[in-house]
């Protein structure tokens, strides 16, 4: 199955593009039991219906790592990765199994806290990277049944979730630091790799995944740990197909495959499989129409319990994260790291209870809603519920307006009523003029976390969007081509080139514009000669190209220095590092370089054929940066899978100082650099372009 068929839902965005008409999905199967019999194969929309309706879930990271509670040899910054990050030998770490006895564990208490907080599903670690299993596995003794506790955590929690109306789901790590056949070993380990057989480990992994599905019927199989070099698309596809065959109704995340684009979490290949994307510790700046996604985030700085970490997000921030994500069409998976005794940290308990109070009042503005129909709102966010004859727009107010007016740009529907959520008898005054709907609100906020105002409109939402100004860059050397999107047979786009507001008599957009001087372009949509929607504006600046440098390189290609490093990011100062070797490369390439904990520095000159603004596309796994003439052009830094970032530089004909640094910490390794002139496709830089 391809990415487009798996991640992109077929729930429609109906209606004409000229009106920006947005429809929500229908009712969801929220009452279906988590202990149902496996149904016949079902459609993607049927499989995802309850998940799209839920919007809010609980993540639980729990295991042996809760025992040291983030501390080892006097250091207190560890979490669920403690065995690797503190470099604990296997024979030492295995001793935690005999200490695991969480007598205070109460599955009903956990499930009830999730339900009371308004969470509709719960995802728990059946197995994290340390390989320890919280379920009764016939495949290994490295499980909870061989601890003093001797109780099947997954069984108890699955049953408790069913009692409290929460869908039970499982997280399962592909990576396994305990299994003798898992490769690669940790770089610091003394365990030999000789005799290890990854194919044998893969059979073990499949057997355990099958166990989890057959025993506990998880509604979601949430994979992780897919980034190491031994995992590939073919293995991911086989595991995905195992899940599909075992339970066609079960949802599988995209981390079963290898194409996740780092922490951003969106798959980068049309070959990728998985039902939803998985941004981690971040909320995408905009929504992704037609793509199912879920942001998983911690309450403090760790996934697993860390006794010293008291840096918890406020309840206000957590609630507003939930609103922000729902307004962009995503789900919020909020993590709790239980303590070794089986209880939640009191800070987590308090925040869950406070979130629950807000959800008791405003949960209907989250559950079963779809993404905002507005590009942006000055006061906060919007979620939407479309009905057969009317739509409810839920306006989540973060910044209470001093004007006491909430302004909705471009709303084309007749407004039936406006009122605070939960008090429909308290009607608010609504006025409509100049393409704006204004809702008069009380003097003070209705809730300290986020107030919700309902605006009921006739039919499905009709929003006149601001026109979109499209160009490759905001700067240019000779000229830049600009397009304005939004015109249709019924709608005109009018524009000005001096920054003034377009009026009925302004120039009508009919074809792409070619700008040759610095210009402030402003555009607006008109319907039957009347301005509708918001203004769009963009400044385009003509710049002089950077002058070429005077240099006399003696040979083609680039000098390449190789360093042994252990970076999470490229340091600001490269420092006194001494290269382990220096070679020459015909261009920017790895040339078989796939080692871990390594960095390369490419240095030399780029020979530019003509004065122009050149765009650069730098793809790497892990991080990379490109400098030209000492100026940073592309920043693709950090730990991530293969991600491509873009940049541009105005360059005069001739030689320009060139430097590119790339590093790989662990797992896959990738590096690729391409360039393009204006209105041209990206292509690889030829070897003739480099000198040193």
Residue range 601-637, pLDDT digits in tens: 999 999 999 999 999 999 998 999 999 999 999 999 9
What's the pTM? 0.82
Rounded distance, CA 581 to CA 561, Å? 6
pLDDT of 500 reads: 96
**Can you list the residues of the chain whose pLDDT is less than 70?**
1-41, 592-594
- Does 183 sit behind a cis peptide bond, omega within 30 degrees of 0 on the bond before it? no
Taking alpha carbons only, the member of 666, 115, 28, 620 closest to residue 352 is 115
Could you give the CA distance from residue 554 to residue 260 in angstroms, rounded to a whole number?
Answer: 42
Q: What pLDDT was estimated at residue 29?
A: 31
Q: Coil, helix or strand for 142?
A: coil
How big is the CA angle at 533 (ends 532 and 534), to the nearest 5 degrees?
Answer: 130
The tens digit of pLDDT for each residue in 284-339 reads: 998 888 899 999 999 999 999 999 999 999 999 999 999 999 999 999 999 999 99
Torsion sign across C-alpha atoms 629, 632, 637, 642: negative
Q: Please give the C-alpha separations between residue 183 and each of 128, 234, 592, in angstroms, as whole numbers.
A: 16, 17, 20
Among the listed residues 135, 65, 128, the one whose alpha carbon sits nearest the alpha carbon of residue 100: 65
Digit-coded pLDDT (tens) for 525-537? 998 888 887 889 9
What domains lie within the chain, and their CATH numbers?
43-365 (3.20.20.80), 380-458 (2.60.40.1180), 468-542 (2.60.40.10), 558-691 (3.90.182.10)
Question: Both tokens of residue 354?
Answer: 């406070």
pLDDT of residue 119: 98
- Give pLDDT tens digits for 52-68: 999 999 999 999 999 99
Closest CA to 175 of 256, 100, 238, 234: 256
Sheet architecture: strand order including 507-508: 475-476, 530-542, 519-527, 491-496, 507-508
User: Is residue 352 helix, strand or coil?
Assistant: helix
């Amino acid at each position: 199955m391809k990415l487009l068929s798996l991640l992109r839902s077929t729930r429609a965005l109906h209606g004409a593009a000229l009106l920006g008409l947005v429809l929500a999905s229908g009712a969801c199967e929220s009452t279906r039991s988590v202990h149902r019999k496996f149904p016949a194969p079902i459609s993607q929309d049927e499989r995802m219906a309850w998940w799209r309706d839920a919007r809010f879930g609980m993540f639980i990271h729990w295991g042996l790592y809760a025992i040291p509670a983030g501390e080892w040899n006097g250091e207190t910054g560890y979490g669920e990765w403690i065995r690797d990050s503190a470099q604990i030998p296997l024979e030492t770490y295995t001793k935690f199994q005999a200490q695991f006895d969480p007598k205070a564990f109460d599955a009903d208490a956990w499930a009830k806290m999730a339900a009371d907080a308004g969470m509709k599903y719960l995802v728990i670690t059946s197995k994290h990277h340390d390989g320890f299993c919280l379920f009764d596995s016939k495949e290994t003794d490295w499980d909870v049944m061989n601890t003093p506790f001797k109780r099947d955590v997954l069984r108890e929690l699955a049953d408790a979730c069913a009692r409290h109306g929460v869908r039970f789901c499982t997280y399962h790590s592909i990576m396994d630091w305990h299994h003798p056949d898992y490769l690669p070993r940790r770089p610091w380990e003394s365990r030999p790799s000789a005799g290890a057989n990854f194919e044998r480990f893969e059979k073990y992994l499949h057997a355990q995944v099958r166990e989890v599905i057959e025993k506990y019927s998880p509604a979601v199989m949430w994979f992780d740990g897919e980034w190491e070099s031994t995992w590939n698309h073919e293995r991911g596809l086989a595991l995905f197909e195992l899940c599909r065959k075992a339970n066609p109704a079960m949802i599988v995340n995209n981390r079963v495959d290898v194409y996740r684009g780092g922490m951003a979490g969106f798959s980068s290949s049309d070959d990728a499989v998985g039902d939803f994307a998985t941004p981690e510790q971040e909320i995408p700046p905009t929504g992704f129409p037609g793509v199912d996604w879920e942001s998983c985030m911690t309450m403090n700085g760790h996934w697993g319990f860390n006794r010293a970490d008291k840096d918890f997000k406020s309840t206000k921030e957590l609630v507003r994260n939930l609103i922000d994500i729902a307004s962009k069409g995503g789900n919020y998976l909020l993590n709790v790291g239980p303590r070794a005794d089986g209880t939640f940290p009191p800070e987590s308990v308090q925040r869950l209870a406070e979130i629950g109070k807000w959800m008791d009042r405003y949960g209907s503005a989250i559950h079963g809603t779809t993404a905002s129909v507005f590009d942006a709102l000055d006061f906060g966010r919007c979620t939407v519920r479309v009905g057969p004859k009317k739509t409810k727009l839920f306006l989540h107010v973060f910044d209470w307006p001093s004007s006491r007016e909430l302004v909705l740009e471009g709303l084309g529907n007749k407004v039936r009523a406006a009122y605070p959520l939960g008090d429909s008898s308290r009607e608010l005054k609504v006025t409509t003029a100049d393409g704006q709907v204004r809702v008069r609100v009380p003097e003070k906020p209705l809730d300290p976390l986020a107030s919700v105002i309902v605006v009921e409109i006739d039919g499905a939402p009709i929003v006149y969007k601001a026109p979109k100004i499209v160009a490759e860059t905001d700067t240019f050397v000779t000229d830049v081509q600009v397009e304005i999107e939004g015109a249709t047979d019924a709608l005109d786009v009018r524009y000005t080139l001096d920054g003034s507001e377009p009026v009925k008599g302004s120039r009508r957009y009919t074809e792409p514009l070619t700008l040759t001087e610095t210009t402030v372009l402003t555009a607006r949509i008109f319907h039957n000669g009347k301005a509708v929607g918001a203004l769009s504006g963009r400044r385009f600046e003509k710049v002089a190209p950077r002058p070429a440098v005077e240099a006399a390189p003696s040979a083609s290609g680039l000098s390449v220095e190789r360093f042994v490093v252990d970076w999470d990011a490229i340091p600001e100062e490269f420092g006194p590092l001494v290269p382990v070797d220096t070679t020459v490369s015909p261009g920017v390439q790895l040339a078989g370089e796939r080692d871990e904990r390594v960095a390369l520095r490419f240095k030399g000159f780029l020979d530019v054929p003509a004065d122009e603004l050149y765009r650069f596309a730098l793809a790497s796994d892990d991080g990379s940066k490109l400098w030209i003439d000492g100026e940073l052009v592309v920043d693709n830094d950090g730990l991530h899978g293969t991600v491509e970032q873009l940049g541009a530089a105005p360059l005069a004909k001739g030689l320009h100082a060139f430097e590119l640094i790339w590093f790989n910490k662990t797992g896959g390794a990738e590096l690729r650099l391409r360039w393009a002139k204006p209105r041209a496709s990206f292509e690889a830089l030829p070897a003739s372009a480099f000198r040193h």
